[in-house]
Amino acid sequence: MSNTLHAFALLACPLAALAYGEVSQWSSGWGQGTSEYTTVDVAGNTLYIACSEDRPVSMTLTVNGVEYGSYNDKGFDLLIDGVEVQTPYDTASRVGANNFQFAWDALRKARTLQARTADGQVVNLPTKGSAKALPAWGTPEFSCSTEF
């Protein structure tokens, strides 16, 4: 019996390690100088935002195990309460920085959130807890910076 439980525990660990954040709501954390914000749907699709005062904001959307966003050539857009924000993580211009600020403020009060990948996939992501997890722009808790 004990060996069966150990085997089950070993098999379950990799699955738990893949999930970051709390399912069906926004969550936040901090580690190694980075503030992290995540929303996770029941299928395990995630939107992850990393903020630091010494690096520009980054965003990663993971849909069915495929990553999009800041660290590869596969882009995504957000639809927040039906309003499209194109590549909200691309902050190298004044327009891009303004888009990020708009998206951040909109995410804090969003009723609906969808992400659309460059290859046409659309996922609905949770908005519950966003105002609590995402600090207001300009507050001491807010640590996001942009390239521009």
In a domain, 145, yes or no: no
Residue 86 in domain: yes
Range(s) of the domain holding residue 84: 22-133
Asked whether the beta carbons of 115 and 78 are under 8 A apart, the reply is yes
CA neighbor of 107 nearest in space, from 70, 144, 89, 134: 134
What secondary structure letter does DSSP report for 23? B
In a domain, 147, yes or no: no
Q: Are 81 and 106 in contact (CB under 8 A)?
A: yes
78 domain-assigned: yes
Is 73 in a helix, a strand, or coil? coil
Q: Rounded to whole angstroms, how far apart are CA atoms 67 and 143?
A: 24
Q: What span, in angstroms and rounded, lies between the C-alpha atoms of 95 and 104? A: 14
| Contact criterion met (CB below 8 Å) for 91 and 56 | yes
To the question of pTM greater than 0.95 for the whole model, the response is no
What does the pLDDT average to over 93-104?
A: 98
pLDDT digits (tens, 9 = 90+) for 100-127: 999 999 999 999 999 999 999 999 999 9
What total number of domains does the chain contain?
1
- Assigned domain for 143 exists: no
CB 136 within 8 A of CB 44: no
Is 16 a member of any domain?
no
13 part of a folded domain: no
Instruction: Give residue-wise pLDDT tens across range 69-90.
Output: 999 999 999 999 999 999 999 9
Question: For residue 20, what are the contacts with CB-CB under 8 A and spacing of at least 6?
Answer: 36, 38, 40, 46, 48
